[in-house]
Structure formats: C-alpha cells, structure tokens
Amino acid sequence: MLEVRELAVSYGMVRALDEVSLTVDQGSITAVLGANGAGKTTLLRTVNGLVRPRSGSVLLDGTDITRLPVEEVVRLGLAHVPEGRGVITELTVQDNLRLGVLWRNRRERRALQSTGLDEVYALFPALAERRARLAETLSGGERQMLAIGRALMTRPRLLLLDEPSLGLAPRVTAQILAVLRELRERQGLTVLLVEQNARSALSVADHGVVLNLGRVVASDAAASLATADDLRHAYLGF
C-alpha cells in the first residue's frame, strides 16, 4: 500500500534520513523502531508531506505523493497522529473530532460526521463523557485517544502514528495498542507506527523496521525482530 523508496532528508547539514526504503502492506501494522534521533518522526513527516525530501519518493498505492502538500494528503486516505498528539487544546473534544471530516464536501460531511463520532465514542467511551469539554482538560491517555479518534474520523486507509506510548502509563499504552489491533482485524486498517518503546510496538506489529541514525539497519517480521538478541541489545534496548 505504501512504498518508501530511497528517501533522503537533510536539515541543513544534518542528514536525518539516508536512503530509507520500506514497504507497508495493505492491512498490516508496521512498526518503525529506533532510539531518539534515529529519524522516525522525520520519516512520518516526510511521508505525510510536512517535510520535503532531498531525494527519493513516497508512493501510495502506486501514486507518487512525494511532493504533495500536507493539505492534500488527507484526501488520499492518509491520516497522521503527530508527535505530541497535536490535540488542539483550545477546542472541545467534539470539535477536535470534527476536524477529521472538515476536508470533505458538505454532502459527505453530513453523511459521515455523526456516524464517525458514534464510532469513535464507542471505541473510546472516555471521550464520549467529555465531548463538550475543552481538550486541555484531558489526561495524556485521553489526548492520545482523541488524536487517534480524530485521525479515524477521516476514514483513513493508512494511519500514521508517532510514538503513541510517549508519556503514557504501560496499561494505557496497552489499551491503545489493543484498539489498533482490533481496527486492523475488523476493518483492515493499515498502520505505520513509529515507536521508541520497541517491546510494546513489536507485540502488536506484523512487521518491524529498525532505524539507526537515519538508516534502515534491519527489516523483518515483528516476531523475528523481537527474538533477535543482537539487534535488541544494539538498537532496541530490551
């Protein structure tokens, strides 16, 4: 579904991504792992059109989306849960969710807004109780749920998730990852997930890619990565 080919990104003199290639299969969860500064966030931001690569390309179902501005990418079925979640704290929970259908035309919006809200609230009952509250009153876990719910409101074919576990209690992380797993099973959602917390990410992923200093150092089935001792010690820290 998603194909990243020899992507290179530089911030000034700093090379953030160096010839990174990977593929994400339809209906799979792919986890990109690596330490701080490995280029994980840059990878997602480049796929999403927020960062322009120096070279290389990003293909979504065979269509080149490398130079597409971020505003257009959502229209092709790509939704992003950014680093730090990107919840707009000055808006209510429901308005944050409504952002997910804003790009649609009036007719589609009418048709999808209320069913989308119902689905998200069914998935995350904690959000339903707080729908009229400002998002700034939410806990970290609830904000993560809101960010994921908002991305799901766009009815994405591919969900990009940046460090969902960051700052969350292990129990909350497990809960959120379980929801991803469920969505994959039930709706065939495809997920590209970026994580520092390799152990929990590999527990839900089908495929894992390890980045180090902007380069792919390993790419394999999640189960094999989780048991490759040398890799775990060198890059994954568990």
Partner 1 sequence: MYFINLTLGGVSSGIVYAAVALALVLIWRATRIVNFAQGGMLMITTFVALGVIDATGSYWLGLLAALVSGFVLGAVVERVLVRPIENGPPMNAVIVTLGLLLFLQAVAGMVWGGSPRSFPPLLGIKGFTVGDARLLLSPSDLFVIGAVLVVMALLVLLFRVTPVGLRMRAAAFSPEVARMFGVRVGRVLTLGWALAGAVGALAGVLVAPATFVGPNQFDAVLVFGFAAAVVGGLDSPPGAVVGGLVVGLTLSYVSGYLGSEVALLGALAVLMTVLMIRPNGLFSRTSVRRV
Considering only 57-65, 94-102, 121-129, 199-207, which stretch makes contact with partner 1 by CB under 8 A?
94-102
Main-chain dihedrals φ then ψ at residue 152, nearest 5 degrees: -70, -30
| Greatest extent of the chain over all pairs of C-alpha atoms, in Å | 54
Q: Does 71 help bind partner 1 (rule: CB under 8 A)? A: yes
Q: Does 181 help bind partner 1 (rule: CB under 8 A)? A: no
CA dihedral angle for residue 122, residue 168, residue 146, residue 127, rounded to 10 degrees: 50
Smallest distance from partner 1 to CB 63, Å: 17
User: CA 113, 115, 118, 120 torsion: positive or negative?
Assistant: negative
Ordered DSSP codes for 167-215: T--HHHHHHHHHHHHHHHHHH--EEEEEES-HHHHHHH-SEEEEEETTE
Considering only 35-43, 97-105, 209-217, 225-233, which stretch makes contact with partner 1 by CB under 8 A?
97-105
For the segment 104-123, give every residue that binds partner 1 (CB under 8 A).
106, 109
Q: Does 102 help bind partner 1 (rule: CB under 8 A)? A: yes
Q: Does 141 help bind partner 1 (rule: CB under 8 A)? A: no
Residues that bind partner 1 (CB under 8 A): 48, 50, 69-72, 74-75, 80, 82, 86, 88-91, 95, 98-100, 102-103, 106, 109, 150, 154
